[in-house]
Amino acid sequence: MPGNRLSNMRQSIIDGAPETACSLAQEAVAAGMAPLEAINDGYVLGMRDVGEQFARGQMFLPDMMASAEAMRAAMSVLEPELRKQGAERPTAGVVVLGTTKGDIHEIGKILVGTLLTAHGFEVHDLGVDVAGEKFAAKAREVSADIVGVSALLTTTMRNQKKVVEALEKEGLRSSVKIMVGGAPVTRRWAEEIGADGFAKDAMSAVGLAQELMQKKLAAVPTQT
């Protein structure tokens, strides 16, 4: 039964069917399925299929938009469940999150934000198409520990570097860790632009954020 449910979830994304995606998520929550299992082993697999079909020219932009809509519908049910888990813990760190300038892909970023919240981080999501200066201003406003930058296009990846530069310009680089991600992003790219880390998926982003917090706290001189 859970196997069937997961494959139906995956299919609802491929079909671009928000109502089905939403009701499957509601059923899963009612049946006690872990929200993370539904996301990772159901819906995200559908999104991956959609990307592959689009790349092969077997799917077109309106279909891809319908799939994204279905993903959002499922997340509207699963995200509050994940948040409940995070609300019970003390703050693990403050994160400012966004997708780079020129880029409107948001699903991966939302997943990262949701999982960070579920693991006790305070997340400020700036949305999509965000300029470096805006990341820096928000980081200052909320005293961010970490800035997380998403980019899904090879053309907008380079704007991640502009975020690093904006934080440097604002004099925040020594106090704010930077993590980058998104389908075309690699560890090597992260190193090249001077970011502190790269995460290939939302779960790794949580591990990385925890690691960066430890490094940050270890660097703070202790008062005697």
Q: Which residues bind ligand HCB (CB under 6 A)?
A: 44, 47, 50-51, 54-55, 61, 64-65, 68, 102-109, 111-112, 148-150, 152-154, 179-184, 199, 201-202, 205
Is residue 150 within 8 A of residue 105, CB to CB? The reply is yes
Strand runs labelled E in the chain? 93-99, 121-125, 146-150, 177-181, 197-198
Strand partners, 49: none
Of 42 and 182, the one with the shorter C-beta distance to ligand HCB is 182
Handedness of CA 160, 165, 166, 168 (dihedral sign): positive
Angle at 125 between CA 119 and CA 129, to 5 degrees: 140
Q: Which is nearer to ligand HCB, 107 or 139 (CB)?
A: 107
* Nearest approach, Cβ of residue 184 and ligand HCB (Å): 5
CB of 224 vs ligand HCB, minimal distance in Å: 36
Residue nearest to ligand HCB (CB): 108
Please say which residue, 31 or 191, places its beta carbon nearer to ligand HCB: 191
CA angle 99, 159, 111 (to 5 degrees): 20
Tell the residue number behind the tokens 């948001």, with chain if given. 106
Evaluated on CA atoms 29, 32, 34, 38, the torsion sign reads negative
For ligand HCB, the closer of residues 31 and 127 by Cβ is 127
30 vs 55, which CB is nearer to ligand HCB? Answer: 55
Nearer to ligand HCB, 32 or 62 (CB): 62
The residue to which tokens 């994204």 are assigned: 68
> In the bound complex, what is the minimum distance in angstroms from residue 28's beta carbon to ligand HCB?
18
Residue 59 CB, nearest approach to ligand HCB (Å): 8
| Shortest distance in whole angstroms from residue 222 CB to ligand HCB | 29
CA–CA dist 205, 66 (Å, integer): 27
Q: Closest distance between ligand HCB and the C-beta of residue 211, in Å? A: 13
